[in-house]
């Protein structure tokens, strides 16, 4: 079973670790990733939700961003949820901020409104038989997909999940539910 790294700089990384543990996969090894050296043995990485400006600045400062870019070009599966998807995007509308420039997409931050407008609803993700509960907290949307980036889920006509080869981005937080199907699916990339 793969060793999974969860970027643990800031945000809800602990919830992803717990979700991976709930997958109950024998010998699954989950590691916190903070610096490039932490990527040495991982076979997959999750970039959790959090504050993209802060995390981007720290990734750049400590070289983790460059290391993730290099690993992505080598085929490492990487999944970004909410902030993670923002950091993975090649363009963020109306913002000049650090980007990993991995997903060939444009995103709009806080597209559903402020924190008080957070909500949960069902989202059908291509590749899963049944809808998952999407937890949307200051969630971004994808306003443009280019190249090999393909929408795999929409909500109310807006793209909320994309896949580009070994890269996955979701604007919602599956780790905040008891449903581990997206985590299982990602482990199978």
Grouping H, G, I as helix, E, B as strand and the rest as coil, residue 37 is helix
Establish whether 117 is a catalytic residue: no
- For residue 44, what are its two tokens? 């997959």
50, 58 contact by CB (below 8 A): no
Catalytic residue (choose from 21, 32, 51, 82): 82
Which of these is catalytic: 24, 74, 173, 183?
A: 173
Classify residue 53 by its DSSP letter.
Answer: H
Examine the residue annotation and report whether 173 is marked as an active-site residue of this protein: yes
Angle among Cα 136, 104, 122 to the nearest 5 degrees reads 25
Does residue 175 carry a catalytic annotation? yes
Residue 163 three-state SS: strand
Beta bridge partners of 30: 4
Secondary structure tally for the chain: helices H, strands E: 5, 12
Q: Give the pair of three-digit tokens for residue 35.
A: 């610096």
Choice among 3, 175, 183, 184 that is catalytic: 175
CA angle 21, 23, 29 (to 5 degrees): 50
Rounded to 5°, angle at Cα 142 from 160 and 44 = 65
Please list the active-site residues: 82, 173, 175
């Amino acid at each position: 079973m793969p060793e999974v790294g969860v970027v643990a700089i800031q945000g809800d990384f602990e919830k992803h670790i717990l979700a991976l543990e709930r997958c109950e996969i024998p010998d699954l090894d989950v590691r916190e990733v903070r610096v490039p050296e932490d990527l040495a043995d991982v076979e997959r990485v999750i970039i959790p939700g959090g504050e993209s400006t802060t995390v981007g600045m720290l990734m750049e400062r400590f070289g983790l961003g460059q290391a993730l870019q290099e690993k992505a070009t080598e085929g490492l599966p990487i999944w970004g949820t909410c902030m993670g998807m923002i950091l993975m995007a090649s363009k963020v509308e109306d913002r000049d901020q650090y980007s990993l420039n991995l997903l060939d997409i444009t995103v709009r931050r806080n597209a559903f409104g402020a924190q008080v407008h957070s909500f949960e609803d069902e989202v059908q993700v291509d590749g899963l038989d049944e809808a998952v509960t999407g937890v949307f907290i200051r969630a971004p949307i994808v306003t443009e997909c280019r190249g090999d980036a393909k929408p795999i889920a929409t909500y109310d006509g807006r793209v909320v999940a994309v896949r580009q080869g070994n890269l996955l981005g979701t604007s919602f937080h599956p780790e905040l539910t008891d449903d581990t199907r997206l985590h299982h699916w990602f482990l199978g990339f």
